[in-house]
């Protein structure tokens, strides 16, 4: 039976721990970074064509005269800006499309003026036509209200006033 060299075992374990923990943390960070980059790449490939100008049509009342401008962010999400017919900003929204359930996403809109309503959006994207169907829910009012809009691609981009 060989005696155990405890001081050497302790030094070896300590050095292994000191070198192993940072290496493990670095490896985890690199893998996580890789997965995020792949997710963004897929979002850009699947939904990149959503960026653009859209006519805003209220499904009950017809065209609103306004439009929605959508742009894709670096993280794969989208920023949507709803414009009045006058060109003034009506609301802004952050939209996240799903990789798991194709062509659907969620958004959260807010009017820029304090005290004005805000709420949630459920988005369905139809790449065949380029349309987005939006079911919104105002969550800031005492009684929640729902609305349904269709955003139809404009053949020419609109600009802010």
Distance CA 98, CA 32 (A): 19
**Total residues belonging to the chain:** 161
Whole-prediction pTM: 0.76
Q: What is the pLDDT of residues 5-55, one digit of tens each?
A: 778 778 787 877 787 778 787 788 888 888 889 999 999 999 999 999 999
Q: What is the mean pLDDT of residues 114-133?
A: 90
Q: What is the pLDDT at residue 27?
A: 81
Q: List C-alpha distances in Å: 4 to 8, 9, 10, 11, 14.
A: 9, 8, 11, 13, 16
% of the chain exceeding 70 in pLDDT: 94
**Residues 78 and 71 sit within 8 Å (Cβ to Cβ):** yes
How much is the mean pLDDT over the chain?
A: 87
Rg (CA), the chain: 25
- Closest of 130, 134, 158 to residue 148, by C-alpha: 134
What is the predicted pLDDT for the residue at 159?
57
Domain architecture of the chain: domains with CATH: 50-153 (2.40.128.320)
**pLDDT for 22:** 80
Who has greater pLDDT, 94 or 8? 94
Q: Which pLDDT band, with edges at 50, 70 and 90, does 102 fall under?
A: very high
pLDDT over 80 at 143, yes or no = no
Q: Over 80: is that where the pLDDT of 2 sits?
A: no
The per-residue pLDDT for 101 is 92
Gap between the Cα atoms of 157 and 76, Å rounded: 21
**Per-residue pLDDT at 115 exceeds 70:** no
Find, among 110, 107, 113, 112, the residue nearest to 94 by Cα: 107
């Amino acid at each position: 039976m060989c005696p155990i060299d405890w001081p050497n075992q302790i030094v070896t374990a300590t050095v292994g721990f000191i070198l192993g923990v940072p290496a493990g943390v670095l490896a985890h960070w690199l893998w996580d970074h890789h997965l995020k980059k792949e997710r963004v790449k897929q979002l850009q490939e699947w939904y990149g064509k959503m960026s653009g100008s859209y006519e805003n049509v209220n499904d009950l009342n017809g065209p609103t005269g306004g439009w929605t401008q959508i742009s894709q962010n670096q993280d794969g999400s989208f920023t949507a800006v709803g414009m009045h017919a006058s060109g003034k900003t009506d609301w802004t929204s952050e939209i996240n499309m799903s990789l798991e359930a194709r062509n659907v996403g969620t958004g959260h809109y807010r009017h820029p003026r304090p005290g004005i309503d805000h709420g949630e959006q459920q988005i369905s994207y139809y790449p065949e036509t380029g349309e987005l169907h939006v079911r919104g829910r105002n969550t800031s009012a005492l009684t929640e209200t729902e609305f349904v809009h269709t955003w139809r691609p404009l053949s020419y981009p609109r600009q802010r006033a």
